[in-house]
Amino acid sequence: MPQLHAAAAVLLLAAAEALSTTTTPRAITGAWPQAFPAKDLCSNCGLCKTDVGIASVTDSCAFIGDGMARAEGLEERVHGRSRAYDASNLDEAYFGVHDEILLARGNVGGAQWTGVATGIALAWLEAGEVDAVVVAGSSEDGFGSPEPVLCRTKEDVLRGRRVKPSLCPSLAILDQVRDDASIKRLLFCGVGCSVQALRGINKGDPVKALNLDELYVLGTHCVDNSPTPEAAKKFVSTLPGVGEERADDVLAYEFMADFRVHARLRGSDEEETVKPAYMTLPPSIGVPSIAPSCFSCFDYTNGLADVVVGYMGAPFDAKRDEMTTAPLMVTVRNERGRRMLDTAVASGRVEILQRGGVGGRELPSTGDRRSITVKTVQGDSMVKTLLEPDFVAGNQGAPPFVANILADVIARTLPTGLEFARYSIDYHYIRNQLFCDDRMGTRATRHVPSYARAICEPYAEDVEALKNPPPPEPSPLWYLVFGGRFQR
């Protein structure tokens, strides 16, 4: 009889094992994006490339189910409270939960701007506050595939410098983090969609799932990322002054407040910068250069990070400033973010230029975004592609001479500082709301966060007019010929 019991136990164990191997979700290894749950809306955040992450995908992915709206429910857990805003004060609808918005400058060479992000990460690691840091590195210089780097040293962290201009599977490293007993305190650096997915793991308790004691998150703003390095390279090839022949020399580029793309290129001795006007770009390059996920993204300001670095709300003087000298905007969301920034300042890696208080209300800000936002949306070839089935975007940009004059004129009419940030957010959220309505149908109501709807609300009539333009006014010739005979 004891042998019988033993045999039954072995059988039971084998059955349990078989069951567990068939029910335990496993990392996806198939082709991107087809094999991923969010399909072509997948931002390749890397969560599904891990065993620990895939188990939470339905509760964490920013592009399935409640999608981007789900993050609002995590704010209280992460920051201790959710966003406070109403129609008369939209500061936190725009910039998320925060204690303060300020201007800062880093002193890390070879960074995207001045290295505030890398400076904070370095200082936090060097102060011994974390055992490891995750940054977005690259398989090679230039347009190599972005990939997560698990950093233990200063040299590792420096690999995160500069924006790798395409989707990075930053979370693909999470199994390694979970299985490494020496990592108990982690700093994760990433963009909004990956931060949302990370925070959502294990029903909002990633610390436990990853066997950590502490998790710190340093975010950057992020918008309009390219789906692949090839798409990003194709985009820069269309820039006058770059072209196909110099595309591989591009080290960094940004869409700037002077209505020009600033591209920094590897020169024979030192870096060179070209600044073609936006209008020199062929309109047809817009849609293929932006991943579908980024057309459905409403987390430009990275609402679930502890502290966030970006440039859109920092003043930029086109006559005096370069990316490598200009101020950056830092949003401190909570006490953890405050400690990280203070440590970077104390170590001398980051300098605070101006404190802006809640909403950045004490920072420079001029102009009124409203009418320029409407004009931008109305004239945007990507919006037209969405709204007008017969619209075909042109494949020729304006001649540089004309485009330069236009850029100078337009730049003078644009808002600056924090109002420029609101303008940029308004344009992107209106455009992306249109994209989601078109692509997701009724699921758009679940996906779009309520703060984004509050931002788009004041433009409701303008957007409706775009969707349903009034019939064209009859021309004077029409009246001459028909004399108003067909009027009702």
Ligand X SMILES: Cc1cc2nc3c(=O)[nH]c(=O)nc-3n(C[C@H](O)[C@H](O)[C@H](O)COP(=O)(O)OP(=O)(O)OC[C@H]3O[C@@H](n4cnc5c(N)ncnc54)[C@H](O)[C@@H]3O)c2cc1C
Ranges assigned E (strand) in 124-209: 132-138, 146-151, 185-190
Among ligand SF4, ligand X, none, the one that 221 touches (CB under a kind-dependent 5 to 8 A) is ligand X
Count residues near ligand X (CB under 6 A): 34
Say if CB 321 and CB 84 are below 8 A apart. no
3-state SS, residue 401? helix
Nearer to ligand X, 151 or 466 (CB): 151
Q: Site for ligand X (CB under 6 A): which residue of 83, 105, 161, 349?
A: 161
Nearer to ligand X, 52 or 117 (CB): 117
Binding flag, residue 233, ligand X (CB under 6 A): no
Burial class from Cβ neighbours inside 10 Å (0-12, 13-18, 19+) for residue 414 reads: middle
The CA distance from 337 to 307, in Å, is 5
Among ligand SF4, ligand X, none, the one that 220 touches (CB under a kind-dependent 5 to 8 A) is ligand X
Give the sign of the dihedral formed by CA 373, CA 379, CA 385, CA 388: positive
Binding flag, residue 169, ligand X (CB under 6 A): no
Q: How far is the CB of 72 from ligand SF4 (least distance, A)?
A: 15
Q: How far is the CB of 373 from ligand X (least distance, A)?
A: 15
Segment interacting with ligand X (CB under 6 A) among 67-75, 172-180, 310-318, 441-449: 310-318
Q: Is the peptide bond before 33 cis (omega within 30 degrees of 0)?
A: yes
Binding flag, residue 112, ligand X (CB under 6 A): yes
Segment interacting with ligand X (CB under 6 A) among 34-42, 186-194, 363-371, 435-443: 186-194
Nearer to ligand X, 93 or 116 (CB): 116
Residues 136-155 that bind ligand X (CB under 6 A): 136, 146
Q: Site for ligand X (CB under 6 A): which residue of 232, 312, 374, 407?
A: 312
DSSP string of 57-101? HHHH-TTSTTGGGGGGGGHHHHHSS----BTTB-HHHHH-S-SEE
Nearer to ligand SF4, 226 or 373 (CB): 226
Helix (H) or strand (E) holding 423: helix 418-440
**Contact flags string 71-110 toward ligand X, x per CB under 6 A:** -----------------------------------x-x--
The CA distance from 120 to 307, in Å, is 10
Nearer to ligand X, 117 or 236 (CB): 117
Nearer to ligand X, 190 or 283 (CB): 190
**Contact flags string 39-78 toward ligand X, x per CB under 6 A:** ----------------------------------------
Q: Which position has the token pair 């991923």?
A: 36
Q: How far is the CB of 252 from ligand SF4 (least distance, A)?
A: 16
Q: How far is the CB of 289 from ligand SF4 (least distance, A)?
A: 12
Residues in contact with ligand SF4 by the rule CB under 6 A: 36-38, 42-45, 47-48, 57, 61, 63, 167, 191-193, 197, 222-223, 225, 291, 293-294, 297, 299
Q: How far is the CB of 71 from ligand SF4 (least distance, A)?
A: 11
Residue 343 corresponds to which tokens in the numbers above? Answer: 């440590």
Cβ within 8 Å of residue 300, ≥6 positions away: 192, 221, 222, 223, 424, 425, 428, 429
Binding flag, residue 416, ligand X (CB under 6 A): no
Residue 312 corresponds to which tokens in the numbers above? Answer: 């859109």
Among ligand X, ligand SF4, none, the one that 43 touches (CB under a kind-dependent 5 to 8 A) is ligand SF4
DSSP string of 308-349? EEESTTS---TTT--TTTS-EEEEE-SHHHHHHHHHHHHTTS
Phi, psi values for residue 355, rounded to 5°: -85, 140
- Long-range (24+ apart) CB contacts under 8 A made by 60-64 are 60/196, 60/197, 60/198, 60/199, 60/200, 60/201, 61/37, 61/197, 61/200, 62/192, 62/193, 62/196, 62/197, 62/293, 62/297, 62/299, 63/38, 63/193, 63/293, 63/296, 63/447, 64/37, 64/38
Q: How far is the CB of 224 from ligand SF4 (least distance, A)?
A: 6
3-state SS, residue 260? strand
Q: Site for ligand X (CB under 6 A): which residue of 60, 114, 293, 385?
A: 114
Binding flag, residue 308, ligand X (CB under 6 A): no
User: Which residues in this chain contact ligand X in the complex, by CB under 6 A?
Assistant: 106, 108, 111-118, 135-136, 146, 160-165, 168, 170, 189-191, 220-223, 225, 309-312, 328
